[in-house]
Chains A and B, each alone.
Chain A
Amino acid sequence: MTDTIETVSRQSTRAVLKEFWFYFSVNRGAVIGLFVFLALVLVAVFAPYLTPHDPNMQYRDVFLLPPSWMEGGHVDYLLGTDAVGRDILSRLIMGSRLSLFVGVIVVVIALTGGIILGVIAGYYGGKIDTVIMRIMDVILAFPSLLLALVLVALLGPGLINAMISIAIVLQPHFVRLTRAAVMAEREREYVVAARVAGAGPLRLMFLTILPNCTAPLIVQATLSFSNAILDAAALGFLGMGAQPPTPEWGTMLAEAREFILRAWWVVTFPGVSILITVLAINLIGDGLRDALDPKLKRS
C-alpha cells in the first residue's frame, strides 16, 4: 500500500518536472541561456586548471599587450594584458568564480531572510506584518545601489561586505513576494484542513503553505542573481567591492578606466563577461517565468 503511494508520488514529481521542461524548452533563448550558464559554472569550478597563466602574475615585459589577433598581440596572451602585465583571459576565468560565488551567496542570504520574514508577515498579519513591511518600505525608499554603497562604507570595503550589503538591499523584494503568496494561500481549504488536523504554526507556515509559493520566488531568485552580479561589479568599479588585485570583473574595470582610449581591450572584455553571464541568467529567468506559470504566458 505504501509502495504504491510512493511510486505514484515519485511518478507525479517526474511528471511535473517533465511538464516543466516541456514549457521551458519551448523558449529557445532560455535553453541557450541555460547552456551558457552551465558552461560558465564549469569554467568557474575548473578555473585553476583552465587559466593559461597565473591571474596575479605580472609579466614585466608585456604591459598593455593587445589581444592576440591584433597587431602587436601574442598568442600566449589571447585577450591581451593589462597595465601591469597580467593576462586578461586568466583573470577573467578566475573572476567567473567570484561572480558566481557572489550571485549564489547573495541569493541564498536574501532568499532565507526574505522567506522567513515574508512567511511570518503573511501568516500572522496584523501588527507583526505592519512592522515588517514598514521596515521593508524604508529599505526600498533608498535607491538600491546608493544604499548598498553606504552600507559598504559602514562595514568597510571588501567582497564579503559588498555581498552582505547587496543581500540586505535585495531583501524586500523577497519579503513582499513571499508575504503576498502566503496571504493568498492562507485561507485556502488545504491550509484550514491542516490547521484543523492539529498542525502547529511552524509546520503550517513552512511545510504546508510555503511549498506552494515557490514559483514566483524562483523567478525572483534568478532576477536577483543577475542583479547581485551587476551590483557587485558596480561596487567593485567604485572601489568599494572586491579590492585589487582580486580579479573581480568590476574591479578590473575600475583599474582599466584610465586606459579606455589607449587600450580598449582592458575595458571591453571584463564587461563582455559580465554581460554574457547576466544575459544568460536573465534568459533562464524569462524561460522560468513562462514555464512556471503558463497561465501568464504572454510572450
Chain B
Amino acid sequence: MFGFILRRIGMLIPTFIGVTLVAFFFIRLLPGDPILLLAGERGISAERYAELQHSFGFDKPVIMQYLDYVVGLFQGDFGMSMVTRRPVWDEFFTLFPATLELSFVAIIIAVFIGIPAGVIAAVKRGSMFDHTVMTGALVGYSMPIFWWALLAIIVFSGWLQWTPVSGRISVMYFFDPVTGFMLIDSLLSDQSGAFASTVSHLILPSCVLATIPMAVIARQTRSAMLEVLGEDYVRTAKAKGLTKLRIIGLHALRNALIPVVTTIGLQVGVLMAGAILTETIFSWPGIGKWMVDSISRRDYQVVQGGLLMIAMLVMTVNLVVDLLYGLINPRIRHN
C-alpha cells in the first residue's frame, strides 16, 4: 500500500513539471511583447523597458528564467495582479473558499441524490422509475450549464421570486470573514437572518452546478450496480437469508461504489470547469469568475498563476481520489 502511494506521487512529478512549463510559456507565447504585457503599461520609455526586462529576468537565458520561475513557485510567488496589485497567491486564497463552498455543496447534492437514484434504478431495472431517472440524467448532461443557470434564474428568481439573482449574501449584511466559508461565517456572526440569506443565495447555483455530476453519478452507479447484482457473491448473500436491504445496501453497494468513487473524483475537475460558467452567471466571487474576468481584463499574470494553481488543485484531487480508490478496493489495499 505504501509503495502504491509513493508510485502515485512519483507519477505526478513529470506532470507537475509539464504544467509549470505550460504556465511559464503561456505569457511568452502571447502575441505581443511579454514585458509590455506583464507591465500592463502602454508605451514605456527605453530605460523603464530595460529596468523591467531585468526585474522580470528576460535578460537571462530561457532555462535560467524557467528555474527562477519554479524556485519562485516554491516560495509562493505566483506573480502579481496588475489590476489589484496583490500577489496572485493571496488573491487565489481569498477567492478560493467561495468556489470551494459552492463545489462542496454541489458535490454533496450530486452524491446524495445521484447514488440512491442509480441504486434504485438498477434494482428496479426496466421500470418507470428506471426510465425516468436515466432519461433525466441524459437530459442533465446534455444541457449547456450556462443556459440551465439562466433558465433557473428566470424561473426561481424572476417568476417565483424564491431566490436572489446573484452574490453570496444579501448586501445588507457585512461581517469580517473568519473562515471564508459564508455558511460558517454567517452562523458565527450574530446578525440574524444572515445564515438564511446565505442559504438562499447558495441553493440555486449549487443545484445548477450539481446537475451534470448528479447525472453522471446516477448513470455510473446504475451501471456498476447492474454489474454487481449479477455477481456470484450477491447470490451467496441471498442464500444466506439476509434481508434485501442488507444485500443491496451493504453487499452490492460496497462493491459498486469502487468505480463510482473514481467517477466522483473525476467530477471535481468537471465542477471546476462548470464553476467558471456558474460563477459568471450568478456573480459568485470565486476563482472561476476571477479567471474569466482576468482573461478579459488581460491581467495575464493572474491567468498564468491562476491556471497553475488550479491545475495543481486538480492534480491533488486526482491523487487523493487515486489513493482513496486504493483504500477502498481490498485487492489493492491488502497486497
- Residue of B144, B281, B295 near A150 (CB, 8 A) is B295
Residues of A within 8 A of B315 (CB): 141
Q: CB distance A142 to B314 under 8 Å?
A: yes
Of B79-87, B194-202, B268-276, the segment with at least 4 beta carbons within 8 Å of chain A is B268-276
Chain B positions 276 through 307: 1 when the CB is less than 8 Å from some CB of chain A, otherwise 0: 11001100000000011001100000010001
Contact residues in A for B56 (Cβ distance below 8 Å):
none
Whether a CB of chain B sits under 8 angstroms from the CB of A146 is yes
Q: Mark A124-137, 1 if CB is under 8 A from B, else 0.
A: 00000000001101
Residue of B nearest to A278 (CB): B142
Which residue of chain B has its CB nearest to the CB of A280? B142
What's the nearest-Cβ distance from chain B to residue A150, in Å?
Answer: 6
User: Which of B19, B141, B144, B226 interacts with A138 by CB under 8 Å?
Assistant: B19
B303: which A residues are within 8 A, CB to CB? 150, 153
The size of the chain B interface, using a CB distance under 8 A, is 50
B29 and A154 form a contact (CB under 8 A) = yes
Q: Would B138 and A274 count as touching, CB distance under 8 A?
A: no
Is A267 in contact with chain B by the CB < 8 A criterion?
Answer: yes
Number of interface residues of A (CB under 8 A): 44
Give Cα distance in the complex from A270 to B292, angstroms: 22
Is the CB of B160 closer than 8 A to any CB of chain A? no
* A261 lies within 8 A of B26 (CB): no
Give A74 to B161 CA distance when docked, in angstroms: 29
Q: B153 to chain A: which residues have CB within 8 Å?
A: 260-261
B314 pairs with A143, CB closer than 8 A: yes
> Which chain B residues (305-322) contact chain A, with CB distance < 8 Å?
307, 310-311, 314-315
Q: Determine which of A144, A239, A271 lies in contact with B273 in the assembled complex, contact meaning CB atoms within 8 Å.
A: A144
Query: Does residue B236 face the partner (Cβ distance < 8 Å to A)?
Result: no
Question: Which secondary structure dominates chain B's binding surface?
Answer: helix
Q: Could you tell me if A274 and B295 are in contact, using CB atoms closer than 8 angstroms?
A: no
Given A146-B307, A153-B295, A257-B150, is A141 in contact with B314 using a C-beta cutoff of 8 Å? yes
In the bound complex, do residue B269 and residue A143 qualify as a contact, i.e. CB atoms below 8 Å apart?
A: yes
A224 at the interface (CB under 8 A from B): no
Query: Within 8 Å CB of B314, what residues of A?
Result: 141-143
- Give the CA-CA distance A187 to B123 in the complex, in Å: 39
A253 to B227, CA, bound (A): 41
Is B223 touching A299 in the complex (CB atoms < 8 A)? yes
CB distance from B73 to the nearest CB of A (A): 15
Point out the residues of chain A lying under 8 angstroms from B150, CB to CB: 253, 257, 260, 267, 271
Q: Select which of B18, B143, B295 is within 8 A of A135 by beta carbon.
A: B18
Nearest CB of chain B from residue A243's CB, rounded to whole Å: 13
B188 contacts A by Cβ under 8 Å? no
Question: Are A253 and B146 touching (Cβ within 8 A)?
Answer: yes
How far is the CB of A117 from the nearest CB of chain B, in Å? 15
Q: Is B147 an interface residue (CB 8 A)?
A: yes
A288 to chain B, nearest CB (A): 14
B134, CB-defined interface residue at 8 Å: yes
- Residues 226-266 of chain A, each 1 if its beta carbon lies under 8 Å from chain B, else 0: 10001001100111100000000010010001001100100
Chain B residues in 8 Å Cβ range of A156: 31
The reply to whether B146 and A234 form a contact with Cβ atoms under 8 Å apart is yes
Given A237-B277, A250-B144, A142 and B307 contact (CB-CB distance below 8 Å): yes
Let me know if A282 and B138 touch, CB within 8 A. Answer: yes
- The CA of A154 and the CA of B26, in the complex, are separated in Å by 8
Across-interface contacts of B145 in A (CB, < 8 A): 234
Question: In the assembled complex, how far is the CB of residue B317 from the closest CB belonging to chain A, in whole angstroms?
Answer: 11
Query: Quick one: which of A234, A282, A299 contacts B141, CB cutoff 8 A?
Result: A282
Say yes or no for B14: interface residue by CB 8 A criterion.
Answer: yes
* B262 interfacial by beta-carbon distance below 8 Å: no
Would A142 and B223 count as touching, CB distance under 8 A? Answer: no
**Is B147 touching A253 in the complex (CB atoms < 8 A)?**
yes
CB-CB under 8 A from B21, the residues of chain A are 138
Residues from chain B with Cβ under 8 Å of A141 in the complex: 15, 18-19, 311, 314-315
A interface, CB within 8 angstroms of B: 29, 134-135, 137-138, 141-147, 149-150, 153-154, 156, 226, 230, 233-234, 237-240, 250, 253, 257, 260-261, 264, 267-268, 270-271, 274-275, 278-279, 282-283, 286, 298-299
22 A-B pairs within 8 Å (CB atoms) are namely: A29-B138, A134-B14, A137-B18, A142-B19, A143-B314, A145-B274, A146-B310, A147-B307, A149-B295, A150-B26, A150-B303, A153-B303, A154-B29, A226-B142, A230-B144, A233-B146, A257-B281, A267-B154, A270-B147, A275-B144, A278-B142, A298-B226
3 shortest A-B CB distances, which residue pairs?
A271-B147, A138-B18, A145-B273
